[in-house]
A and B are shown apart, each in its own frame.
Chain A
Amino acid sequence: MSSASKIEPTVQGTAREHQLFLLREMLRIRRFEEKAAEVYSLGKIHGFLHLYIGEEAVAVGAMQALNANDRIVATYREHGQALARGTPANSLMAEMYGKVTGCSHGHGGSMHFFDISRRFYGGYAIVGGGLPIAVGLALADKMQHHEGIITACFFGDGAVAEGEFYESLNLAALWKLPLLFLCENNLYAMGTALARAQAQTNIALKAQAMGVPGESADGMDVLAVEEASHRAAQAVRAGNGPLFLELRTYRFRAHSMADPDLYRSKEEIAEWRTRDPITTFTARLRERGLLSDHDLANLENAVAAELAEAVQFAETSPWEPIEDLTKDVCTPEVGKL
């Protein structure tokens, strides 16, 4: 069964199959990001590349709470979310290569993955810029009486400093919109630590102050993320207005490939690495006899094969013809440029 198939809500946390599935999803993201780093070093990917390594539990855990007709808005660090949502690795790798077969036809690159067939509304490079979009999507569903559909908006601790964060929380609360705010707090907005940017570092408290009830969860524990996300999503689906979930996590790599990571100590990174979501989950599964070496090798091999195929696909895919440069600036049906 390919992990690119439709994601159904599953029995939470207990079934072995489901837990192996969660592990596999996290591994897919981890290996994809490592591969992305490798091909970036070879000059196959250019511009900015923001790796999700260390944060896999957040995307994978949260995605379990979302249905096929829910809407997702994310940031420029969105490879994890896109993969967990089900967009094929081929399509994402090709997008980073800039090929026409990429999910955004090579127009966006790493920061602008879009997959509307899976209701994945991007990939935003301006910190905080996706929040108002998410507010609007939720507003549309509410006004059209689309019962049970929610919009999930991923953003980082950096966005908490932007005015749009407060404006969006306020508007979502004021109009009781079906919006789930998912704050991936990895403690750093590029090189600026949260404590150096915020007088009040309790982010969930800020959400509450704006009228959006919020709580926090351990973002390094995929089962904890899954459980918290399910509860929150259910509540939002019931139509009681928006909710806020802070996931405490950490990125093991620098902000981007261009970042020399001078603002964090090696000790701190090493400390967080002991809480690696994949290592810790693997250990737990082994402990409970749910995962053997053989199982793990199979998983790794399957993931490796998927990624080798993705790289091959990206390498051999064609480029968009230059003649089509301005083709998609406007929608052709009515107007022209």
Chain B
Amino acid sequence: MKKKTTYREAIRAALRQAMRDDPRVFLMGEDVGRYGGAFAVSLGLLQELGPERIRDAPLSESTFVGAGIGAALGGMRPIVEVMTINFSLLALDQIVNNAATLRHMSGGQLSVPLVVRMATGGARQMAAQHSHSLEGWYAHIPGIKVLTPATVTDAAGMILAALKEPDPVFIFEHATLYPLEGEIEERIAPVDIAKAAVCREGRDITLISYSASLLKALQAADRLAKDGIEAEVIDLRVLRPLDTATILASVTKTHRAVIVDEAWRTGSFAGEISAQITEHAFDELDAPVSRVCSAEVPMPYAVHLETAALPQADTIVTTVHGLL
């Protein structure tokens, strides 16, 4: 039975369900307990599930992420919440040098069944140190999975799917998506975390995106339709491992692609996708693969500057017109 909810509440429901189902699952992070979560995701869970399961951690990103790794090695199923991707930089050593490597470095003796959730992205005038989109950096690392839910169903279902994984899974929740409305089932089911989704079909051009940028791509597609251009829109859902098959099948149909990625353009994950399309579908292209990314600037505070820095539906539309 479906119920109306929001992205943030859906995540909360998934956390609650997971913890009720499996005593090994617990949530650890800054202000997840008494504060109710910086984005109110875990609001009320401390009261429901108690302080053993909902653990407020001190501001020690490196150590509580590392402790998450250790706890996973020791038989628990921790969900570590790093308040935002901006603070995760303090934990990068534990993530890159431990979480991602322990399996291979130990010759296959260890698995690290750790889930790490982080809020990400800009567009709320949070300025340069609170607006990063570094999912592409994480997607660069072998040994982990990177998920970017853009829908309410995915926000909830991906947590349950991630908890089944034997290796570290990083889930990036765009901060502007928390109030997004949608529906979930009373009993949440895990969703697939291997495939991208074609959320709008079209013949003229493929728009590839993820997270909050997906919504802009869909807006752009609506506007393009009025100009008689039918865009096919792909929600990547998973950046690592990337579902190249779905991307290539779409480009084979439309022969043109634009990737929309909130990261800075240089070295963006969009560049990776572009390279893959060229490598595997060279002969299917009637135009160079294009990217709409953030401007090369530390995210400014002033609203007009921030809006100009970020990818917008307008820019996507203009880029598409330039390719057709």
Contacts and interface: CB of A to CB of B under 8 A. Distances in A.
Contact of A140 (B58, B76, B166): B76
Interface in B80-126: 93-94, 97-98, 102-111
B166 A133 contact: no
B58 A170 contact: yes
Contacts, number: 156
Contact of B74 (A139, A170, A330, A335): A139
B66 interface: yes
A336 B65 CA distance: 23
B292 to A, nearest CB: 28
A337 B142 contact: yes
B178 interface: no
A131 B103 contact: no
B239 to A, nearest CB: 13
B71 A136 contact: yes
A326 B103 CA distance: 11
Interface in A141-170: 141, 143-144, 163-164, 167-168, 170
A186 B227 CA distance: 73
A329 B104 contact: yes
A122 interface: yes
Dominant secondary structure of chain A at its interface with chain B: loop
A71 B63 CA distance: 18
B164 interface: yes
B37 interface: no
A331 B166 contact: yes
A106 interface: yes
Interface in B113-153: 142-143, 145
B241 A335 contact: yes
Contacts of A335: 145, 165-167, 194, 241
B278 interface: no
A116 B167 contact: no
Contacts of A333: 166
A171 B58 contact: yes
The range of chain A's interface size is 35 or more
A335 to B, nearest CB: 6
Given A104-B105, A108-B107, A170-B58, A132 B167 contact: no
A102 interface: yes
Given A105-B108, A114-B109, A122 B71 contact: no
A58 interface: no
Contacts of B269: none
A133 B73 contact: yes
Contacts of B7: none
The range of chain B's interface size is 35 or more
Nearest to B99: A133
A107 B106 contact: yes
B67 interface: yes
B76 A144 contact: yes
A23 interface: no
A334 interface: yes
B63 A116 contact: no
A126 interface: yes
B72 interface: yes
A134 interface: yes
A183 interface: no
B58 A136 contact: no
B106 A112 contact: yes
Given A164-B66, A334-B165, A137 B74 contact: yes
A132 B105 contact: no
Contacts of A140: 70-76
B68 interface: yes
A103 interface: yes
Contact of B63 (A103, A164, A327): A164
Contacts of A116: 106, 109-110
A328 interface: yes
Contacts of A88: none
Given A136-B72, A139-B71, A144-B76, A108 B105 contact: yes
A270 interface: no
Residue from A116, A136, A144, A337 with most neighbouring chain B CB atoms (10 Å)? A136
A177 to B, nearest CB: 9
B93 A167 contact: no
A328 B107 contact: yes
Nearest to A95: B107
Contacts of B62: 132, 163-164, 167
A121 interface: yes
Contacts of B68: 136
B73 A136 contact: yes
B279 interface: no
Given A133-B73, A143-B71, A114 B66 contact: no
A68 interface: no
A335 B168 CA distance: 11
A129 B70 contact: no
A230 to B, nearest CB: 24
Interface of A: 71, 102-108, 112, 114-116, 121-126, 129, 131-141, 143-144, 163-164, 167-168, 170-171, 174, 326-331, 333-337
10 nearest CB pairs, A to B: A136-B70, A132-B66, A140-B74, A105-B107, A167-B63, A114-B106, A167-B60, A136-B67, A331-B166, A104-B107
26 contacts: A104-B105, A104-B106, A104-B107, A107-B106, A114-B109, A114-B110, A122-B105, A129-B93, A129-B97, A132-B63, A136-B70, A136-B71, A137-B74, A138-B74, A139-B70, A140-B71, A140-B72, A140-B75, A140-B76, A164-B66, A170-B58, A328-B103, A328-B108, A329-B142, A330-B167, A336-B241
Given A144-B24, A330-B143, 8 more contacts: A115-B109, A139-B70, A144-B74, A167-B64, A329-B142, A330-B166, A331-B166, A333-B166
